[in-house]
Amino acid sequence: MKNRITTYLDSLGKKKLLVPYFTAGFPTMGMTLQYIKAAECAGCDFVEIGIPFSDPLADGPEIQYASKVALDNKTTLNQIFELTQKVRKHSEIPLLFMGYYNPFLAVGVKKFLQKTADSKVDGLIIPDLPIDESTEIRNLADKQNISMTYLVAPTTEKKRIQTINNLTTGFVYAVTVTGVTGSGKKFSPETDKYLKMLQKSLNHRFVAGFGVSSPADAKRLAKYSDGVVIGSKLIKIIREAKTQKSSVTDIEKFLTGVRKSLS
């Protein structure tokens, strides 16, 4: 079976990618499913599903909070696999897991990837796993037809960018600012310069993330990239919603606005 991510990217043309991130189990697993449905209705291209972790080093306060709530809810990997199986009952939207390496290691990398494939998940992002230590998981993922997405940052050396370009099997995730994730980060002319450099250096599609909090942010970053990832802002919208039910409407409305800005 073809990988949904690579198949989609092959037929993308000039369309810009919109990739939302939701923490599995925040505020509940049932609501996570509703947000994924809302994201597809809003015209999103892929969905990143965050696997909650007790020590999320790269994440800012919003995603840390979401992880804590999910863990307090006793969210397990098996429940997350069940979530993606439920998504597949009504949708073929490409799905990625984004998570730290320790939970995968605890299960066993081979077993985790087998379950990921069985649950019809298409890609994997592991922010705390250096690319030169990822050979085993990359080879196993390849056998399961799971694409690997790696991160580059403004501080990444050009030689390493080329290594990432050579080994990525999906798209590249371009971190736009240094530090942890979070909406409201300020973009500068240096951000544009960095993204322009990536346009010249990469022969994979790449999306820009960390700090996207408005349609205007998305439009700006997509000028020199293939699209955007939005995470912390969505967690913030969920937290500020009057009710869980209204949070679904709020998410769809916001993402629809971002989709329009990318058209």
**According to the 3-state scheme, what is the secondary structure of the chain?**
CCCHHHHHHHCCCCCCEEEEEEECCCCCHHHHHHHHHHHHHCCCCCEEEECCCCCCCCCCHHHHHHHHHHHHCCCCHHHHHHHHHHHCCCCCCCEEEECCHHHHHHHCHHHHHHHHHHCCCCEEECCCCCHHHCHHHHHHHHHCCCEEECEECCCCCHHHHHHHHHHCCCCEEEECCCCCCCCCCCCCHHHHHHHHHHHHHCCCCEEEECCCCCHHHHHHHHCCCCEEEECHHHHHHHHHCCCHHHHHHHHHHHHHHHHHHCC
pTM of the complete model = 0.95
> Stretch 211-240: mean pLDDT, rounded?
96
Tell me what percent of the residues of the chain surpass a pLDDT of 90.
90
**In whole angstroms, what is the distance from residue 244 CA to residue 38 CA?**
13
Split at pLDDT 50, 70, 90, the class of 96 is: very high
Split at pLDDT 50, 70, 90, the class of 56 is: low
Least confident of 49-63, 169-183, 240-254: 169-183
How many CB atoms lie under 10 A from the CB of residue 104? 21
Kindly tell me if the per-residue pLDDT of 179 is higher than 60: no
> Stretch 238-246: mean pLDDT, rounded?
97
* Residue-range domain boundaries for the chain: 16-148+213-261
pLDDT at 55: 79
Tell me what percent of the residues of the chain surpass a pLDDT of 70.
95
Q: Tens digits of per-residue pLDDT, 99-138?
A: 999 999 999 999 999 999 999 999 999 999 999 999 999 9
Q: Which amino acid is at 217?
A: D
Q: In what order do the strands lie in the sheet with 151-152?
A: 147-149, 123-125, 95-98, 47-50, 17-23, 227-230, 206-209, 172-175, 151-152
pLDDT at 80: 98
pLDDT at 48: 99
pLDDT at 229: 98
Annotated active-site positions, please? 48, 59
Tokens found for residue 161: 């960018």
State the CATH architecture for 16-148+213-261. Answer: Alpha-Beta Barrel (3.20)
